Amino acid sequence: MNRSVLLIAGETSGDAHGAGVVRELKRLQPDLELFGIGGEKMKQEGMTLTYHVRELSFMGFFEVIRHLPLLRSVEKTLMQLLKLKKPLAVVLIDYPGFNLRFAKIAKGLGIPIYYYISPQVWAWKKGRIKKMRGVVDMMAVIFPFEKKIYEREGIPVRFVGHPLIEELTVAQTRAGFCDEWGIRPEQKILALLPGSRRQEIRQLFSVMVRAAGTVAVSRDLAIAVACAPDLPAASYEEAAPPGVRMVYVRNATHALLKYSDAAIVTSGTATLEAACFNVPMVIVYKTSWITYAIGRLLVQLKNIGLANIVAGRTIVPELIQHKATVDNIAAEIASLLDDDARREMMKADLAKVKESLGGPGASVRVAEGVLELIGLAAR
């Protein structure tokens, strides 16, 4: 009997969240064959990689267009695997541009579709949700407000909670963290989270570092950069301006956030990670002007940072595009470090954001939902 499941996570964040699902599927059904697109974390949990996320992690309208031949090739290969292996289900994790197209292909072959981490239909391309009806067999959402959106459209949906909540455990002490990364214990720590894509590093990393350096001039401040596991050190070093002392932290982002006093964070899932660790922050984002202009036409939200979107209001400053300057970023960070009242108010608001994301166990709930969809009882 065929006992395989195809999973697709096309980005580093999807790999982190998908790893928990792979782990729980293997725990509940050890003989399931899990294969598809993922990264090192999903691989370590027992998934066979057909493609690695580093091959597919790019952003922006024109970058996607430039990589269309690669995407079509990946799509074709996966379609052949569907026909060859006939998996019991396809589990799609975020990555909507590719995954929604592929969902139609798999559904056309009669394969059930379980979609984990909804496309951001509440932000842009709202017409996309209607196209999911009859294609997605179960949508597992990670924000409570998303459930009503799918219910209105008659699409089966469950709120499973946010996977970040189960990934927050940090065993290392602050003293141990500082010792490992060469930070003096008495120093305050400013975390830089520049993103997981090369384009993000090229666009904004230099500005983030120079802003951090400006703040550090008059303060005993350690600047620590959270490096994406799938990007080489050279990606950061080549983009870094000279003269700013910092440490590059790899495979310890959550420990860094736990012990940081403030953070400069590129918009994305990282803003929620910082929120869950109650780190006062400024959200920054910059892309090409053409991509930005097109995005402004399509996106119908006041805020772009997930911490603010979940809160339903602006609780964290956002410096987007032309506002993401060295002086503006430095001013916000200096205020967060020096203004005790502002910092404590932001931390209280961030604590409410974390509370709204649900309790631990998202990966278990997703794995159980996948097995329920394909008629396999957990062992």
Cα–Cα separations (whole angstroms), residue 317 to 36, 107, 119, 204, 266: 38, 42, 24, 17, 12
Q: Where are the domains of the chain?
A: 4-161+361-373, 174-356
pLDDT score of 201: 79
Exposed (0-12), middle (13-18) or buried (19+): which is 334, by Cβ within 10 Å?
middle
| CA pair distance 204, 208, nearest whole angstrom | 6
SS3 for 275?
helix
Is the pLDDT score of 278 beyond 70?
yes
pLDDT score of 273: 93
- Please give the average per-residue pLDDT across 82-92, as a whole number: 95
- Please give the average per-residue pLDDT across 173-197, as a whole number: 94
CATH of 4-161+361-373 among 3.40.50.2000, 3.10.129.10, 3.20.20.70, 3.40.109.10: 3.40.50.2000
CA 339, 345, 346: angle at the middle one, nearest 5?
A: 90
Is the pLDDT score of 353 beyond 80?
yes
The overall average pLDDT reported for the chain is 88
Strands 33-38 and 48-52, sheet pairing? parallel
The closest alpha carbon to 170, from 255, 229, 257, 277, belongs to 255
| CA pair distance 157, 143, nearest whole angstrom | 12
CATH 3.40.50.620 fits 174-356, yes or no: no
| In contact, 247 and 284? CB cutoff 8 Å | no
Is the pLDDT score of 26 beyond 90?
yes
Residue 357 banded pLDDT, cuts 50, 70, 90 = very high
Residue 304 banded pLDDT, cuts 50, 70, 90 = confident
- Please give the average per-residue pLDDT across 354-362, as a whole number: 92
pLDDT score of 294: 46
Is the pLDDT score of 59 beyond 50?
no
User: pLDDT of 142-161, one tens digit each?
Assistant: 998 899 989 999 999 999 99
pLDDT score of 293: 53
| CA pair distance 352, 338, nearest whole angstrom | 23
Sign of CA dihedral 327, 328, 333, 336: positive
Residue 200 banded pLDDT, cuts 50, 70, 90 = confident
pLDDT score of 305: 87
User: pLDDT of 8-19, one tens digit each?
Assistant: 998 888 898 999
The closest alpha carbon to 54, from 22, 91, 9, 120, belongs to 9
| CA pair distance 79, 376, nearest whole angstrom | 24
Q: Do the domains at 4-161+361-373 and 174-356 have one common CATH topology?
A: yes
| CA pair distance 178, 204, nearest whole angstrom | 26
pLDDT score of 80: 94
- Please give the average per-residue pLDDT across 3-7, as a whole number: 96
pLDDT score of 68: 59
279-289: b (≥16 Cβ within 10 Å) or e: bbbbbbbbbee
Residue 291 banded pLDDT, cuts 50, 70, 90 = low
Task: Select the more confidently predicted residue: 330 or 296.
Answer: 330
Is the pLDDT score of 176 beyond 50?
yes
- Please give the average per-residue pLDDT across 366-373, as a whole number: 97
- Please give the average per-residue pLDDT across 363-370, as a whole number: 97
| CA pair distance 170, 151, nearest whole angstrom | 36
pLDDT score of 61: 44
Whether the model pTM is above 0.95: no
- Scanning the chain, the segments in alpha helix (DSSP H) are 12-28, 40-44, 61-66, 68-85, 96-108, 128-132, 144-152, 174-181, 198-216, 233-239, 253-258, 269-276, 289-298, 306-311, 326-338, 340-356, 362-373
Is the pLDDT score of 113 beyond 80?
yes
- Please give the average per-residue pLDDT across 59-81, as a whole number: 70
123-140: b (≥16 Cβ within 10 Å) or e: eeeeeebeebeeebbbbb
Query: Which of the residue ranges 33-42, 119-128, 226-235 has the most confident prediction, judged by mean pLDDT?
Result: 33-42
Q: Which of 68-82, 101-115, 256-270, 360-374 has the lowest mean pLDDT?
A: 68-82
Phi, psi of 223 (to 5 degrees): -100, 120
